[in-house]
Amino acid sequence: MTGRAPERCAGAARLPWFALLLGLMLGITGCSSTPKSYVVLLPSPDGSVGKVIVSGAQGEQVLDQAGQTAALDGRAARTPPSQAQIDSDFASTIAARPRLPVHYLVYFSTGTTLTAESMALIPEILAEARSRASVDISVIGHTDTVQTADYNEQLALGRASAVVELLKVRGLTADSVAIESHGEHNLLIATPDNVYEPRNRRVEISIR
Amino acid sequence: MRRALLLVVLSCMCCMGWSVAARAEGTPIGTVKTVTGEASVTTAGVRVAAAVGTPVFQGSVLQTGRQSSMGVTFKDETVMSFGADTSFTVDEYLYAPAQGKLRLSSKLTRGSLNYISGVIARLKPDAVTVTTPSGAIGVRGTQFLVKVEE
């Protein structure tokens, strides 16, 4: 009766028939009724579908298909909640979903000077930030592998700081700004040491 | 004299301990992004009405009232929203990818949650859990809805 037999209607087999009948009439046997506490798996915003594992006193369910549901106690629901039920249970929850974070990459010609193309992207980044009621920004600087790791740690920090300065001068306001340096340790394009690679000379800006 | 010195040393230690605790708690892990109706964020026993921009900390309890809702975006870009009559606690939040410290364990006591994975779930698939009164949810990088009805 415990755990790993979610397909069975746990407990029901032991009950006398009249109790089952009464239960069915009242809709309280649990097994046959639609679960009130449940999970629904949805696709991620990028369209991919991950997995959730629900484990409770009645067993374990693995959900890996979009739209699949499971009761929170881990039993397999014979009558899963209808789409109409899901829509009504979660309408306000879904409506409260914050805007998804967005990401930008800007590149550098020399030192902490942005390329012309990246400079042209700045107004779009500012517009995105302005369109949000509350803005948190994370800015991470990177370099290629020319020069030493220590030098690049500082250069990447300089790049991230220069981008933040530029955004602030152009009127950015944010609840929080986090500046980080990954130096030459987080290459976009894998290269050996001491390789000039413009695509690695970059700053990642995340607005959430 | 010696007693006075001891007092100074003790009070210094006390201050240091206090400031360390304050700092640990003083780093927000997320921000309230949407609110309708009545919602609150309770941290270390202090309850504040939630508004857009209200910070969320490790240990914060997020609550919504009747016909209310709230949305929160965390540092690692995990996005959550809560429907009416919800109580949700962020028990543990670790986001230090360079040190491999990644953890998001939480509790949904009642109400509803829409969860969208962030970097923590992407980098460490078993690092995200949501416990509820009747069962626990392990998350492997995805979006889901969950409702707890008592």
Strands B30-36 and A202-207: unpaired
Asked if residue A84 and residue A128 are part of one domain, the reply reads no
Mutate to test the interface with B, among A2, A37, A65, A173 (most CBs of B within 10 A): A37
Q: Are A134 and A173 in contact (CB under 8 A)?
A: no
Residue A2: inside a domain: no
Cβ neighbours of B32 in A, within 8 Å: 134
Window from A25-29, A38-42, A199-203 with minimum mean pLDDT: A25-29
CB contact under 8 A, B112 and A39: no
Asked if residue A79 and residue A51 are part of one domain, the reply reads yes
Query: Given A36, A60, A95, which residue is the final one in a domain?
Result: A95
Asked if residue A86 and residue A111 are part of one domain, the reply reads no
- Asked whether residue A138 carries a pLDDT value surpassing 90, the answer given is yes
Locate the DSSP E strands across chain A: 38-42, 51-56, 59-63, 69-71, 102-110, 113-114, 136-141, 176-181, 202-207
**Total CB pairs under 8 A between chain A and B:** 158
Domain that holds residue A156: 102-207
Closest CA to B94 of B72, B71, B75: B75
> How many other CB atoms are found less than 10 A from the CB of residue B7?
10
Q: What is the CATH number of the domain that holds A158?
A: 3.30.1330.60
Average confidence (pLDDT) over B76-91: 98
Residue A5: inside a domain: no
Query: Given A75, A95, A115, which residue is the final one in a domain?
Result: A95
CB contact under 8 A, B53 and A101: no
Exposed/middle/buried for residue A71 (C-beta within 10 Å: 0-12, 13-18, 19+): buried
Asked if residue A106 and residue A62 are part of one domain, the reply reads no
- Asked whether residue A2 carries a pLDDT value surpassing 50, the answer given is no
Closest-approach residue (CA) in chain A for B119:
A101
pLDDT score at B2: 53
Average confidence (pLDDT) over A115-134: 96
Specify the DSSP class assigned to residue A207.
Answer: E
Average confidence (pLDDT) over A46-63: 94
Asked if residue A117 and residue A39 are part of one domain, the reply reads no
Give the closest of A37, A72, A93 to B69, CB-based. A93
Q: Is A22 helix (H, G, I), strand (E, B) or coil?
A: helix
- Asked whether residue A80 carries a pLDDT value surpassing 80, the answer given is yes
Average confidence (pLDDT) over A82-96: 96
Total domains, chain A: 2
Asked if residue A185 and residue A124 are part of one domain, the reply reads yes
Residue A63: inside a domain: yes
Residue A117: inside a domain: yes
Asked if residue A91 and residue A111 are part of one domain, the reply reads no
- Asked whether residue A17 carries a pLDDT value surpassing 80, the answer given is no
Which pLDDT tens digit goes with each residue over B97-137?
A: 888 899 999 999 999 999 999 999 999 989 999 999 999 99
pLDDT score at B138: 95
pLDDT score at A16: 52
Strand order in the sheet with A102-110: A113-114, A102-110, A202-207, A136-141, A176-181
Closest CA to A175 of B31, B75, B58, B48: B31
CB contact under 8 A, A89 and B112: yes
Asked if residue A86 and residue A168 are part of one domain, the reply reads no
What ipTM does the predicted assembly reach? Answer: 0.83
How far apart CA A207 and CA A167 sit, in angstroms, is 12
Average confidence (pLDDT) over B25-43: 93
Asked if residue A201 and residue A118 are part of one domain, the reply reads yes
- Asked whether residue B84 carries a pLDDT value surpassing 50, the answer given is yes
DSSP B18-57: HHHHHHHHHS--EEEEEEESSEEEEETTEEEE--TT-EE-
Distance, C-alpha B125 to centroid of its chain? 19
Inter-CA distances, A65 with A90, A107, A175, Å: 19, 39, 37
Q: How many CA atoms lie within 13 A of A199 on its CB side?
A: 5
